[in-house]
Amino acid sequence: MRMQRRVCLAVLATALAVAGCSSSTKSPASSATSPTSGGSSSQGSPATASAGGSTSAGSSAGAGSDASGNLTVWVDAARLPDAKAYAAAHPNVHVNIVTFDGDGNGATSLQTKIQLWNKAGSGWPDVIFSEQVNDPVWMAQQPFDFAADMGKALGSGVTSQWPATSLAQCTVNGTLVCIQDNLAPVVLWVNQKLMTQFGYTVPTTWQDWAALGEKVAKDHPGYIIGTTGESFSHWIYFWGNQCPLEANVKDTSVTINVADTHCTEMASLLDPLIKNGTVPPLSVFTPDFAKKYGGANDKVLMMPGAAWYAQAVFDSTLKVPAGEITSAAPLQWGTDSPVTTGQVGGGPWIISKHSSNPKAAADFVLWSTTVFNPDPTGPDARPGLPGYGPLATSWLAGMAQNKYFAADPTPAIKAAANQIWQGWNLVTYPDQPVWSNTVVTGLVAGKSLSSLMPALGNGLSQAAKAAGYSVVSH
Residues in the site for other proteins, rule: CB under 8 A? 4, 7, 11-12, 14-15, 17-19, 103, 105-108, 111-112, 115, 143-144, 229-231, 281-283, 285-288, 291, 432-433, 435-437, 440-441, 444-445, 462, 465-467
Could you tell me the smallest distance in angstroms from the CB atom of residue 389 to other proteins?
Answer: 33
Q: In the complex, what is the shortest distance from the CB of residue 444 to other proteins, in angstroms, rounded to a whole number?
A: 5
CB nearer to other proteins: give 56 or 283.
Answer: 283
Rounded to whole angstroms, the Cα distance separating 193 from 320 reads 11
Nearer to other proteins, 424 or 429 (CB): 429
Between 287 and 423, whose beta carbon lies closer to other proteins?
Answer: 287
Between 332 and 432, CB nearer to other proteins: 432
Q: How far is the CB of 122 from other proteins (least distance, A)?
A: 18
CB nearer other proteins, residue 92 or residue 462 = 462
CB of 370 to other proteins, least distance (A): 33
Q: Which residues contact 399 (CB under 8 A, 6 or more apart)?
A: 310, 376, 405, 408, 409, 410, 413
Phi, psi (rounded to 5 degrees) for 340: -120, 155
CB 309 to other proteins: min, Å = 16
Under a CB-based contact definition with an 8 Å cutoff, are residues 37 and 138 in contact? no
Give 106 or 272: the residue with its C-beta nearer to other proteins: 106
Q: Give the C-alpha separation, 293 to 284, whole Å.
A: 9
Give residue 303's identity as a one-letter amino acid code. M
Q: Shortest Cβ distance from residue 292 to other proteins (Å)?
A: 9
Can you tell me the distance from the alpha carbon of 313 to that of 189, in angstroms, rounded to the nearest whole number?
A: 11
CA torsion through residues 368, 371, 376, 381, sign: negative
Count CA atoms closer than 13 A to 470's CA, side-chain side. Answer: 4
Q: Which is nearer to other proteins, 89 or 172 (CB)?
A: 172
* Residue pair 473/246 in contact by the 8 Å Cβ criterion: no
- As measured in angstroms, the least distance from the Cβ of 110 to other proteins is 10
Query: Taking the complex as a whole, how short is the minimal distance between the CB of residue 332 and other proteins, in angstroms?
Result: 29
Of residues 51 and 116, the one with the C-beta less far from other proteins: 116
CA 363/CA 350 separation, integer angstroms:
12
